[in-house]
Structure 1
Amino acid sequence: MTTDSRERSDTNPTRADGVIAPGGGLLWAERAGAGSPVVLLHGAGMDSRLWDAVLPELVRHHDVIRYDARGLGRSTAPREPFSDVDDLRAVLDHFGLHRAALVGLSMGGETALDFTLAHPGRVTALALVGASVSGHDWPESPELSAYAAARRARDTAALADLELSVWAALGRRAPGGELIGTMVAANAERRVVSEQHCVLSTGRDAEPHLGEIRVPTLVVHGVHDHPEIAVIAERLVADIPAARGETVPDADHYLPLRTPERLTELLLSHLP
């Protein structure tokens, strides 16, 4: 039975759940707030704590769900191939939501795009933050080559160091730096296992099909993010018919922790 989140009380307490993942295992999820439904999706090597600084204000206006992707944070590790798109569908179904807005960072943005193309009737709006997109041809670079080598070697210490140097360019002294370091260290080994089992369930890359997306779309990236993220953001704005772009100063890839006030302002003005 589908639940309309608008019927939820403003006093509804935070609810943490274990969502049964397709094929087995549990996805840790949390729901709070009231209003139109919004699902927050974090990036690779992170977990749902990415949204800690955005959540308090967002739940004052929306029914918000955040969850740890398969094998990351408090979710159980995969033992067989899985799809982030199928996991997102399981989260929506678990909470009785037929439709929701999706806010995704990096890998979470990629999942949001893939899900929207696979299930267009279930998405009311998109907010893509420092998003990647399936099918994008990343140019070769020394840092990304080192990243790939660390993955192949399952060198989790090197992977964590590269995550911070490549994607958290503003460093530990910038806002959110301590939590970013904690998340990266906690998830370095877990992400290697998770990424080895992750598959693209839709059977097609999103980049050639961006013109099929028909929901209002906000594309946000930080000035200090990896340069290719800006390239992807430009492509998303150009190819998605109902998209608009915003560039945020003083932010790298971890934008929700670097500049939470600005991101919250942008989200609240965009989400239905």
Structure 2
Amino acid sequence: MSLTKESAARDVVLSSGTHVRYYEAGDADAASVVLLHGSGPGATGWSNFSGNIGAIADAGFHVIAPDMPGWGDSDAVATKDMDHDKDLIELLDALGLERAALVGNSMGAHTAVRFATLHPERITHLVTMGASLGKGQASLFGPSGGPSEGLKVLVRAYKDASPENMKALVEIMTYDNARFATPELTEARSEAALARPDHLANYVEGLAHGAPIPIKVDREKIREIQTPALLIHGRDDRVLSYEVTLWLLANIPHSRAVLLNHCGHWAMIEHAEEFNRLVVDFLRHN
């Protein structure tokens, strides 16, 4: 599919009055897949999933990749007021989607897991990569207290979204820096972040309220998830330890995990072809 950011861009106003930008591809009558981006300055549905939207749509699915409120070209919102679960319900309703598969990276994975605990009737499949459970997640392999190396870099880039700090952010998010931390990408991410100073300011102000995860999942309810789940994580993730995915694997009954070597926090970018194959196969056969 020959897809561009401009041709895929759509806009919708939710029942709450919030404006949301989203990117769409595929047959609207096909099974729907919603791609949920992670946190970070310059993060959008397109910047996270430009290498996946067309491929998954070409496999026969209706693909939606929103800029969640507080990110990208969607409305600004204070972190303390964010509730991406509510936003996602309103988005599905606005688009006339009864059910959808949810594919989330990092913050988006957290949203997808929480959604599965609260609205099992609205989700067909759960796919996570680089999942976060919020504060207090135990870790044998990552830091056991305080933010990880990657989260420290992310916060620094929010406070100063310069090309230099954005380069450090892309480098910490990926394993193959030479391939992905290019001047073009870091400059584009910097420009995208600086274009929305309201998002940057809200994030920094919201650090005291739990950014970058606006609403915490109830971990006790995770054990009740009956949705088929595919859990993907990079072995070299310096933002969130792959032990989070091992914990989810142990606690979600109908789950399977894929741990990718030579992969950081952005599996869908660093290993796009394999990621697309994994997701499409999972959606078709589970």
TMscore range, shorter length = 0.7 to 0.9
Identity among equivalent positions (%) equals 25
Q: What TM-score, normalized to structure 2? A: 0.77
Matching residue of 2:276? 264
1:19 deviates by: 2.2
1:138-153 alignment, distance < 5 Å:
139-140=145-146, 143=149, 146-147=152-153, 150=156
CA distance in 1, matches of 2:15, 2:182: 34
1:192 aligns with one of 196, 200, 215:
200
Task: Name the counterpart of 1:37.
Answer: 32
Inter-partner Cα distance in structure 1 for 2:224 and 2:184: 37
Tell me the TM-score normalized by structure 1.
0.81
AA matched with 1:254: W
- The CA distance in 2 between the partners of 1:97 and 1:145, in whole Å, is 34
1:8 corresponding residue in structure 2: none
1:120 aligned partner, one-letter code: P
Counterpart of 2:90?
90
Q: State the AA in 2 paired with 1:267.
A: V
State whether residues 221 and 253 of structure 1, in contact with CA within 8 Å, keep that contact through their aligned partners in structure 2.
yes
Letter paired with 1:154? K
CA distance in 2, matches of 1:20, 1:55: 22
Going from structure 1 to structure 2, the CA distance change for 1:205 and 1:183 (only over 3 Å counts) comes to farther
| Runs of 4 or more above 6 Å deviation | 198-202
Q: Deviations over 1:86-141 (max 9, x none)?
A: 11112111110011100000110001111111111101110101111245436336
Counterpart of 1:143 in structure 2: which amino acid? E
Deviation per residue, 1:147-193 (Å, 9 max, x gap): 48738x9344486355234323432x225856752564223756534
The answer as to whether partners of 2:149 and 2:239 remain within 8 angstroms in 1 is no
Secondary structure at 1:97 match in 2: coil
1:51 to 49, 52, 63: 49
Structure 2 match to 1:100: 100
Query: How many residues get paired?
Result: 256
Given the superposition, is the C-alpha separation of residues 178 and 253 from structure 1 closer, same or farther in structure 2, using an over 3 Å criterion? farther
In structure 2, the gaps of 5 or more residues are: 1-6, 138-143
Q: Distance in 2 between matches of 1:117 and 1:48?
A: 23
Take 1:176 and 1:162, find their aligned partners in 2: how far apart are those partners?
8
Q: Check whether the contact 1:47–1:183 (CA below 8 A) recurs between aligned residues.
A: no
Aligned equivalent of 1:160 = 166
